[in-house]
Amino acid sequence: MTSLIEPIQLKNPLGDDGILFVRNDSIFDTMVKIPLLLASMIIVAALLPIQSSFSSPRDLDLIIYPDGTTHVSIEIDVDPFSTDYELNLFGNTIDNLVVIGDDEFLLEFDIIDNFALIQTFGSSVITIEYDIHDLVSKQGKLWTFSLDSPSNFTLLLPQNSAIVGMTNLPINMEIHNDQNQLTLSSGSTEIDYFFTTTITSNPILDTKTETDYFSYVIVGVIIVIILIGITIFTRSKQKNSNSIEQTLTSQKNLILDVETIFALKPDLREDDKELVKFIFKNGGEALESELRKKFLQPRTTMWRAVKRLEREGVIKIEKKDLQNLVKLRKNMEEEE
Amino acid sequence: MKKLALFAIIVLIFGTISPSLVNHAYGQNDPSILLRIAVQADEQIVNQLNGIYENKIPNNIEILYEKGHLSVESLNESLSNDDIEKAKQDFLLAMNSFMQISRIISQSSEKVVVVTVSEKSNRNISSEIDRLEKYVKSLENISKKYDVNVESNFIKIHALIQELRVEINNVNKVHTGIKEIKIILDSIKNDIRESASKHKSDFIKRFLDRLLDKITNQLIMAEDNGVDQTQISKASELILEIRELLSQNQINGAKVIFSELKELMKNIGYPVRIT
């Protein structure tokens, strides 16, 4: 019955020299609460981008008009617990300033020098649009655009303008309606441009000889012929078994024409109708990025518009190569 | 557990470093963009030089052009060799040379006039109409949100804009038309503001209510942490005052007191912000 109380040190005797050893393996487990440590680190890591994302433009798009006036369009994530937000306007000659908060509500603002103090009152995303006359200067025939941007931005140059100097590396360049649109990184940028009537349409230099081109063309043609052959062969095999089925589905898949869609959805907004018309003309589907480029809208504005149309049952959104493919619904009436 | 911890640490380190990597990646999806821009600039400079100097190009400009042109050729070569870093250097060097040339040309041209675009007289009428139309469309979308009955005004503005585009060469008529449009727009903005005020009041009330709850919790924490009791009492009084004003629909008054409360919270070390 009498159970001996055995001292712990007898169960785990010390080393020969009587030195207290602490095993390396166990110190991590015993001294530090690993799950707690991990959880806290993950939380910190998750919060970092959120913290840094507040007050930094999500989208910054600029359009330079032929007279040098620039239209600025900004979307910013703001702290929904703040009452106001101070925005650097990049200058003080501002026109046509509109600030819109969540749900497209108009927000009030005061302009103090180069800054606009916007009363956000709980909005988490604000959109600011204005025209500014301070970003472009002209000397002789040379126009110079200068901006110290807090984030990456897109810049649509006027028609018939040719860049003759820049201080920053462009991230991307696209052509929209004969206008160059550059994507530039944050920081200070200066771009010099002239207006001209002799811009080369395909200015890419290539030092390869014509013989090189010819050999590439031959190889390309052979590859295309092989691919077409494979496709025809595969299709001809499937054709017989699928032909009846395909006829039935193709009849079903006919998309509704624009007028029918508008008749079924009379409350669609005018700008949304323009989107529907474009998608219809584009064969009933378009990438969201294509819509943004066509209508020159910031990412989130277009996303909201697309979401609206999806809610209305006019379109459906599918993923294609990590992009949103917007498709007109084929049987709207049935689904309603 | 050790492996898991190590894995998490690696993920976190990578996660912290990766954004900075992306920023410096200069995502030239298609590096030939650099060449396109540089070649276009090169051709444009040649056109300008031919137009101004014909065969008598000043020595300093010629040296600069040679430098720029060689950089474009080097850029082409760097791209062929997939040497992106070298290509970036070549691009910046070429564009810098062309920029210097264009500035020398523009300074030495016969009538050098430095134009400030902000001066109204220097603005292009067609561009001004384009900008005005964009602004009108923004207000039109907002007015729909508020159900303001201003449709007839917008129809009138659109008709005026069409008219101005036809009469674009008649400067006086266009200026008068633009003034007329701006007057109509001011009236529309007033209507929108009026209609918006009701929505805004509800919006601000909800926002302040939510925020006051949060601040009350912060005050409890502050009290536990031994913050001066008089400051806490003052903050609590301000909260009560704001709630009272909100219940009486005195939004502007509530906003003023809220600013005072915000300042006080900042002073006691509990600033009002997301946590």
Out of A332-336, B87-91, B127-131, pick the least confident: A332-336
| pLDDT value at residue A335 | 45
Q: A334: pLDDT confidence band, cut at 50, 70 and 90? A: very low
Average pLDDT over residues A9-37: 52
Nearest CA to B129 out of B80, B171, B188 is that of B171
Q: For residue B144, which residues of chain A lie inside 8 Å, CB to CB?
A: 269
- Which of B2, B37, B76, B92 to mutate to probe the A interface, most A CBs <10 Å? B37
Tell me which residue in B103, B118, B141 faces A134 most closely, judged by beta carbons. B118
Is B5 in Cβ contact with A38 (below 8 Å)? yes
For B63-111, the pLDDT digits (tens) are: 999 999 999 999 999 998 988 889 999 999 999 999 999 999 888 765 5
Q: For residue A167, which residues of chain B lie inside 8 Å, CB to CB?
A: 92, 95-96, 99
Is B97 in contact with B64 (CB distance < 8 Å)?
Answer: yes
Cα–Cα distance, B218 to B22 (Å, whole number): 38
Out of A176-180, B8-12, B129-133, B148-152, pick the least confident: B8-12
Cα–Cα distance, B213 to B208 (Å, whole number): 9
The sign one gets for the Cα dihedral B29, B30, B34, B40 is negative
Assess whether pLDDT exceeds 60 at residue A251: no
Is B117 in Cβ contact with A138 (below 8 Å)? yes
Q: A7: pLDDT confidence band, cut at 50, 70 and 90? A: very low
Assess whether pLDDT exceeds 90 at residue A144: yes
Nearest CA in chain B to A166: B95
- Which of B131, B195, B208 to mutate to probe the A interface, most A CBs <10 Å? B131
Residues in a beta bridge with A158: none
| Residue of higher predicted confidence among A204 and B71 | B71
| pLDDT value at residue B71 | 93
Is A155 in contact with A161 (CB distance < 8 Å)?
Answer: no
Return the domain boundaries, chain B: 26-108, 125-195, 198-267
Give chain B's radius of gyration (CA, Å). 31
ipTM of the complex: 0.71
| pLDDT value at residue A157 | 93
For B209-256, the pLDDT digits (tens) are: 888 988 999 999 998 988 889 999 999 999 999 999 988 888 778 888
Cα–Cα distance, A264 to A283 (Å, whole number): 20
Q: For residue A48, which residues of chain B lie inside 8 Å, CB to CB?
A: 16
Q: Which secondary structure element, helix H or strand E, spans residue A309, and what is its range?
A: helix A299-311
Is B145 in Cβ contact with A103 (below 8 Å)? yes
Is B112 in Cβ contact with A105 (below 8 Å)? no
| pLDDT value at residue B13 | 62
Is A98 in Cβ contact with B127 (below 8 Å)? no
Q: What percent of chain A has pLDDT over 90?
A: 16
